[in-house]
Amino acid sequence: MRKKVSAFILLFAFWLLLTFSVEPGFFVVGMLLSVLVVVLLAGRHPRREWLLNPLRWLWLLIYMPYFFYYCIKANLDVAYRVVHPDMPIRPGIVKVPTTLKTNLAKTFLANSITLTPGTLTVDIVGSDLYVHCINIHTDDPEEQTREIVGRFEGLLKRIFE
């Protein structure tokens, strides 16, 4: 029941943000649609105890500008490689291990890697990530791991585990 109520609140808040008006007609339609979606898709979303821990939200707030910095850097890097006449790229798929355990944390890590400098997650098998790099500096696996995974792992561990 608690799950359903929280899902309903989330959906209804989303509806209110989307319409952004206080007309009663919008309210009623939004309520009906939210109830419909909750009834149809009840219990499909996983447990989220970590949502209630304020410390994790704080770490998430710290994580966002950190991530954004690398994101901008990534874009400048890729843009440079694209417009450079010789295209200084050295692509390949490398394998890096991660110590994160839960699926949610791994998903966040994979998405962060995809949006940062010259790296794109291709697949996750168990605790190994296969990452496509546009420019491989080094052939040493440990160095690669530190470079690709290391900068996010610590913060993500604090947020999700």
Partner 1 sequence: MTELGYLLIAVGVLFDIFGTFGLVRLPDVYNRLQAATKCVTLGTCFILIGVALSGPSLGFGVRAILCAVFILLTSPVGAHALARGAHLGGVKLWEKSVVDKYEEDAEKVQEAMAAPKAKQSD
Residue closer to partner 1 by CB (options 36, 138) is: 138
Residue closer to partner 1 by CB (options 6, 114) is: 114
Smallest separation, CB 55 to partner 1 (Å): 19
Residue closer to partner 1 by CB (options 38, 112) is: 112
Residues lying near partner 1 in the complex (CB under 8 A) are found at: 17-18, 20-21, 46-48, 71-72, 74-75, 78-79, 81-83, 87, 89-95, 102-104, 110-111, 114-115, 118, 120-123, 125-126, 130, 132, 134, 136, 139
Residues 151 and 107: beta-carbon distance below 8 Å: no
* Beta-carbon contacts of residue 148 (< 8 Å; ≥ 6 apart): 94, 96, 113, 119, 129, 131, 133
Q: CB burial class (10 A; 0-12, 13-18, 19+) of residue 136?
A: middle
The whole-angstrom separation of Cα 143 and Cα 73 is 20
Smallest separation, CB 48 to partner 1 (Å): 7
Residue closer to partner 1 by CB (options 17, 40) is: 17
- Our CA angle for 15, 17, 19, nearest 5°, is 65
